[in-house]
C-alpha cells in the first residue's frame, strides 16, 4: 500500500471514530493544487538537464492564509508521496492550532551528486516556474526545509522571489519561506534548525510522565537504551536534547543512509560527531560495531526513533521490533498494518503528527514575525525563549492528544487525527457552503 493510501486510511479511521459526515470526509480527501513540471537547468559542464518538480496543496479551511509544507530534493520525489505528506502537514498544523493548509513538494534530484552552483540553478528555476503560476508568496505558499534542503536553499528561494518581484530584498519578502539562516537581512529565527528534534524530546518527556513509565525514569537505576535511525538534522538534535534532558539515557545506535553503528554501552556522541565532520557518515565511528539500518530497527532497545524516510516499519518487520516506545521523527515511518501489529504487542507509538510538529510550529513563529502578524503565541527571537514557547505548545498538544485517546479508547495516532479533524471540520463545512 502506498504512503498516500496509508494516510487516507488514517483520516478515514479518525472520521469513523467521531462520525464525521461524508461531505466533510470527501473534502479531507481532496487537494487544492496538484502541480508538476519539468525544470530545465544548465549544469556545470554546460549541458542542460531536466528534473521533475512537484507541489501539492491539501484542502484548507482557512481563508486568506497560506499553505505550508516542506520542499525536498530527493530522487524519489513523486506526486502521490507529496500528497500524503501534504495531508499530514494539514493534520499537524490543525492539531497545533496553526491557521494553515498543508503543502508538500520537491524536485527529483540527488543533492549529493550536484555542486552548490547546480543546486542553486535548479532552485532558481523552480522559483521561476512556481512564481509564473502564482504559487509562491507569503500568503500563498510558504515552503520550508525538508529532506535534501537546508537554510541556504531557503535563502536562495527568498532572494530569487524578491528579485522577480523587482523589489528591494527586505523583511517583506522574507515570509515567502521559513527555515532561513539567522542573521541580519535573512529573516530566520533562532531555534528553527533544532525545533523538530527539541519538540520530539518535549513530547517524549510528557508521555513518559503522563503514563508513569517508571522503567524510563532515572530513579529506576536502569539506563534507558535509545536507537536512532536517521542522523540528519532531526536525529542529531534529538540525540543532543535527549542527552541534555535525560542524562540516564544512553544512545546505543544511530544510522544514516550509509548504514548504522552500535555500542551496547552507549556511543560517544562527541567523537561520533567529530567522525561525521571528517567522513560525512557514521560508518566506522570510534568504539562502535557496524550494522545495517534493518538491524538497527530490530535492536533490543527501549526507545526507537525512526527519523529518516517513510514506511520503514511495516508488516514485514513489526513483529521483530523490540523497542517499548517508538518515537516517530520522520513523516510516516510506520504503516497502518504495522500499527496493528505493534498495538497487539503493547508497543507504544508516539505518532509523527504529534511528535515532529516542532518544526512547523517554530516556522509559524518565523513567518508571523516576517509578515508582521501580531500573535500572542509568537515569542521574541531568542533561542531560549523560542524553545520555551515551543515546549509549552508541544506539552499542551500532547496532553490534548492523551485526553482524546482516553475519551475514545483509542491510540495516540488516531487521537491526534481526531483532534485535528475536529478543529478543522466546522470551518471546512462553512467554507464549502460559501463556495
Residues marked as catalytic: 104
Enter the DSSP assignment of 27: H
End-to-end CA distance of the chain: 34
Give the start-end residues of each E strand in 163-288.
Answer: 224-229, 249-256, 259-262
Cα distance between residue 397 and residue 54, in whole Å: 31
What are the φ and ψ backbone dihedral angles of 144, each rounded to 5 degrees? -150, 165
The span from the CA of 358 to the CA of 362, in Å, is 6
Q: How far apart, in whole angstroms, are the C-alpha atoms of residue 364 and residue 69?
A: 11
- Contact call for residues 219 and 243 (beta carbons, < 8 A): no
Q: What is the largest CA-CA distance in the chain?
A: 63
Q: Which residue has the cell 526545509?
A: 145
Residue entry with cell 478515514: 12
The three grid cell numbers given for residue 390, joined into one nine-digit string: 515551543
Chain-centre distance for alpha carbon 257: 18
Q: At 211, list the grid cell.
A: 503514563
Alpha-carbon gap, residue 177 to 103, rounded angstroms: 13
- Determine the Cα–Cα distance for residues 353 and 38; give it in Å rounded to an integer: 31
Amino acid at each position: 500500500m502506498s504512503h498516500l493510501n496509508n494516510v487516507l486510511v488514517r483520516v478515514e479511521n479518525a472520521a469513523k471514530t467521531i462520525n464525521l459526515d461524508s461531505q466533510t470526509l470527501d473534502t479531507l480527501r481532496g487537494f487544492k493544487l496538484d502541480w508538476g513540471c519539468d525544470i530545465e537547468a544548465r549544469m556545470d559542464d554546460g549541458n542542460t538537464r531536466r528534473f521533475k518538480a512537484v507541489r501539492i496543496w491539501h484542502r484548507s479551511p482557512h481563508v486568506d492564509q497560506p499553505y505550508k509544507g516542506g520542499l525536498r530534493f530527493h530522487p524519489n520525489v513523486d506526486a502521490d508521496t507529496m500528497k500524503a505528506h501534504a495531508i499530514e502537514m494539514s493534520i499537524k498544523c490543525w492539531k497545533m492550532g496553526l491557521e494553515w493548509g498543508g503543502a508538500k513538494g520537491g524536485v527529483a534530484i540527488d543533492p549529493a551528486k550536484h555542486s552548490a552552483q547546480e543546486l542553486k540553478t535548479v532552485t532558481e528555476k523552480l522559483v521561476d516556474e512556481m512564481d509564473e503560476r502564482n504559487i509562491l508568496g507569503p500568503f500563498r505558499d510558504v515552503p520550508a526545509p525538508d529532506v535534501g534542503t537546508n537554510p541556504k536553499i531557503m535563502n536562495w528561494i527568498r532572494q530569487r522571489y524578491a528579485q522577480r518581484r523587482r523589489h528591494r530584498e527586505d523583511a517583506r519578502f522574507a515570509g515567502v519561506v521559513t527555515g532561513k539562516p539567522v542573521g541580519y537581512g535573512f529573516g530566520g529565527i533562532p531555534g528553527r534548525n533544532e525545533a523538530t528534534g527539541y519538540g520530539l524530546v518535549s513530547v517524549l518527556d510528557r508521555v513518559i510522565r503522563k503514563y508513569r513509565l517508571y522503567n524510563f525514569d532515572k530513579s529506576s537505576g536502569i539506563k534507558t537504551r535509545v536507537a536512532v535511525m536517521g542522523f540528519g538534522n532531526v536525529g542529531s538534535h534529538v540525540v543532543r536534547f535527549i542527552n541534555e534532558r535525560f542524562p540516564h539515557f544512553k544512545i546505543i545506535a544511530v544510522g544514516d543512509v550509509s548504514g548504522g553503528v552500535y555500542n551496547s554501552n552507549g556511543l560517544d556522541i562527541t567523537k561520533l560527531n567529530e567522525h561525521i565532520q571528517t567522513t560525512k557518515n557514521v560508518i566506522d565511528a570510534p568504539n562502535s560495531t557496524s550494522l545495517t539500518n534493518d538491524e538497527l530497527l530490530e535492536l533490543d532497545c527501549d526507545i526507537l526513533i525512526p527519523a529518516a524516510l517513510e514506511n520503514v516499519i511495516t508488516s514485514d518487520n513489526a513483529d521483530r521490533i523490540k523497542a517499548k516506545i517508538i518515537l516517530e521523527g520522520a513523516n510516516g515511518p510506520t504503516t497502518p498494518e504495522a500499527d496493528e501489529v505493534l498495538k497487539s504487542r503493547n508497543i507504544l507509538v508516539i505518532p509523527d503528527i504529534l511528535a515532529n510538529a516542532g518544526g512547523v510550529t517554530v516556522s509559524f513563529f518565523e513567518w508571523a514575525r516576517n509578515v508582521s502578524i501580531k500573535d500572542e503565541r509568537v515569542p521574541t527571537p531568542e533561542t531560549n525563549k523560542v524553545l520555551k514557547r515551543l515546549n509549552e505548545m508541544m506539552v499542551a498538544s500532547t496532553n490534548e492528544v492523551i485526553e482524546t485517546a482516553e475519551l475514545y479508547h483509542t491510540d495516540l495516532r488516531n487521537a491526534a487525527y481526531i483532534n485535528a479533524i475536529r478543529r478543522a471540520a466546522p470551518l471546512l463545512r462553512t467554507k464549502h457552503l460559501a463556495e
